[in-house]
Structure 1
Amino acid sequence: MFEIRKATQNDAQTAFDIRLLAIRHQCIGAYTEKQMLAWTKGSAEDGYDVLMEKHFYLGCVQGEPVATGMLDPENREIGAIFIHPDFMRRGLGKRVLRFLEDLARDLGLREVCLDATLNAADLYRRYGYVGEESAIYHSPSGLQLACVPMVKKL
C-alpha cells in the first residue's frame, strides 16, 4: 500500500538518499557524469534538511519511504519529486504529483510551475504541464543544470 505523509526533520537523510539514487539512476544520458556527481554530492545537512520544514512529503510503501515531493506555495512551485529506483515505473511519481497538485488547489493556487529535468519533461507534458524552452537551473549550491521550466493551470 502506498501512502503519502508529511516529512519531518528526521527524514532529511532518507529524502536526500532517495534523491541521490533517483538522479544517478534516471538522469543518465540527460546530464554528464560530472554534472550528476556534482548534483548529488554533499549530505542532507548541506541544506536539504531545511526543505523538510516546508511542504515536503514522503511516499511510503508499507511504511518505508520510497518517494519524495515538495510544494513551495509562495513560489507556486512543485519540486523534489524523486522515486527510489527499486520503485520506479509503478505510477508512484504520478501519485506524488497529483497529491502536490491537490495540496496546491487546497491552498488556493490556480497554477503551479516546476523546473523539469531534461529526462522528465515529456512525462510532465503528459500530465498537462506546458513548456518547451530550455533554461538553466541555478541550485542553492551553485550548480547550474539545463532544465525545462513548465507551468500547469489547476
Structure 2
Amino acid sequence: MLEIRRATQDDAQTAFDIRLLAIRSQCIGAYTAEQMMLWTRGCAEDGYDTLMDKHFYLGCINGEPVATGMLDLANNEIGALFVLPGFTGRGIGKQMVVYLEALARELEVEEVILDATLNAAEFYRRHGYVGSEQAIYHSPSGLQLACIPMRKYLHRSH
C-alpha cells in the first residue's frame, strides 16, 4: 500500500534520484539520450533541493520512497511526478495525482496546470487533463524540452 508523506530537506537526494531513474527509463524514445543525460545531470544541491520547501511529497511502500509529486501553489501546478522503474504500472502515479488534486482542492485551487513530458501526456489525459499542443519547456538549468501543457478544472467536492 502506498503511503504519501511530505518530503523534508533530508529527502532531497532521494527525490532527485527517483527523478533521474524515472526519466532515464521512461522517457526513452520521447527524448534523445543526450537530452535525458543533460536533464538529469548534477545533484539535488544544484537547486532541486529547494523544491522540498514547496508541497513536495514522497510516495512510499513499506517505508521506502518509490515516487514523488509536488503541488506548486505559486503557479497552481502539479509537477515532479516520477515513479521508480520497477514500480510503474501499479497505480502509484494515479494515487499521487489524486492526492495532489485533493490537496489543491483543500487549498481552494480551482484549476491545476502541468507540463507533461511527451511520454506522459496520455497518462494525464486518462485522468481528466486536457491539452494537445506541443510547446517547449525551459528547465531551470537551461535545457529546452518538448512538452504538452495541460490543465484540469477541479470540481468542488461537497
TM-score range relative to shorter protein: over 0.9
Q: Residue 79 of structure 2 aligns with which residue?
A: 79
Q: Structure 2 matches for 1:45-124, cutoff 5 A?
A: 45-124=45-124
**1:29 paired residue number:** 29
The letter of the residue matching 2:145 is L
Residue 74 of structure 1 and its aligned partner are, at CA, apart by 1.6
How far the C-alpha of 1:86 sits from its partner, in A, is: 1.5
Which residue in 1 is equivalent to 2:40? 40
**One-letter amino acid matched to 1:50:** T
The offset of 1:84, in angstroms, is 0.4
* Structure 1 runs (4+) greater than 3 angstroms displaced: none
Query: Using the alignment, how far apart are the partners of 1:132 and 1:49 within structure 2?
Result: 31
How far did 1:2 drift? 1.1
State the shift of 1:32 in Å.
0.4
TM-score by length of 2: 0.97
In 1, distance between residues paired with 2:31 and 2:79? 18
2:121 maps to 1:132: no
1:136 counterpart letter in structure 2: I
Structure 1 distance, partners of 2:110, 2:53, is: 23
**Aligned equivalents of 2:123, 2:18: Cα separation in 1:** 19
- Paired residues, number: 154
Q: Which runs of 5+ in 1 are unaligned?
A: none
Q: CA RMSD in A?
A: 0.4
| Runs of 5+ consecutive residues of structure 2 not aligned to the other structure | none
Whole-angstrom CA distance in 2 between matches of 1:7 and 1:30: 29
Matched AA of 2:81: I
Counterpart for residue 15 of structure 1: 15
Q: Residues 79-103 of structure 1, C-alpha deviation per residue, up to 9 Å, x if partnerless? A: 0000000111100000000000000
Map of 1:141 onto structure 2: 141
Deviation at 1:128, TM superposition (A): 0.4
